Structure 1
Amino acid sequence: GLTHFTLTATTVPPPPTTPQALFTIAKTWKQPKCPATDEWIKKMWYIYTMEYYSAAKQNKIIPFAITWMDLERIMLSEISQ
């Protein structure tokens, strides 16, 4: 399983998400068509969240956001196929 971290920084905003990404994630939670893909998406989302908060603490949000926007596009493409 994944190790969960408790973040105490209250000044860090939540990770940015697009409505399409949220809809896609909710859809996979309700209808796991492929357990391997569903698990991969959940792991990537967890990693994304942890890296976002780490980047926020180090004031490196812009490069982080660009990298993960590319990953989000790839994930949405994979899910829609």
Structure 2
Amino acid sequence: IRVDPGGTEFQRRVWGALRKVPPGRTVSYGELARAVGAPGAARAVGAANGSNPVGIVIPCHRVIGADGSLTGYAGGVERKEWLLGHEGNRSR
């Protein structure tokens, strides 16, 4: 699906990287920060993730904590858990 979510250059890089995380897989905020060339910017990745205007299309539910925990999600952690299970999450 082609989308133009707007956002800053950094947000677009984060969202583009998120779209490459396949169903059934997850990525931590730190891993995503490294993937966009911004190691150490895990919190900024979290902020970009929270600003995602088109959840599901840009799968922000696939981002988890460094310890594997399910962290905040606009639709609630229960929905995030359901989405990951529905996608056949095989953990990282």
Confirm or deny a common fold (TM above 0.5). Answer: no
Higher Cα radius of gyration = 1
Name whichever structure is richer in strand by fraction: 2
TM-score w.r.t. structure 1 length? 0.29
TM-score w.r.t. structure 2 length? 0.26
